[in-house]
Amino acid sequence: MKDDNKLIKIENAIKEKYGEEAIQNPKKYWNDDKEKDYLKQIKEVYKSRKPKEKIEVEGVLVPKKLFTKESNRTCPVCEVYSFNSQDDLYMYKFKCCYKCYIQHVEGREEKWLKKITS
């Protein structure tokens, strides 16, 4: 019985602060016409959406919009697509990913840069 009184007090406090509508069941304002209208709107939204084109990269489907014509994220040395942002620096400066930099370039930077620029 104490719980019922507490619930009533909480409901009355909400009613006082936010108004009668705040404590009403939402189903009270919903009817078949509103349901039909809502379903129609949902269908229109889904019809207007374009299907997302995806590209397969090493067995993973990646949205095509993530690929830009300006950036190539595939290492020309090992031919692996890079998701790692650390590789951006090495791709820009040495034209290879970080792993290839460690394996082929580190300690031979000048020679490597001459090789890729000629």
pTM of this structure: 0.39
Q: Which of 111, 112, 67 minimizes the C-alpha distance to 90?
A: 112
Q: Which two tokens stand for residue 112?
A: 């490597």
C-alpha span between 107 and 109 (Å, rounded): 6
Supply the pLDDT for residue 13: 94
Sign of CA dihedral 17, 24, 11, 20: positive
* Residue 116: DSSP 8-state: H
| DSSP, res 32 | H
Q: Which residues contact 101 (CB under 8 A, 6 or more apart)?
A: 90, 94
The pLDDT tens digits for 87-115 are 777 888 888 888 888 888 888 888 888 88
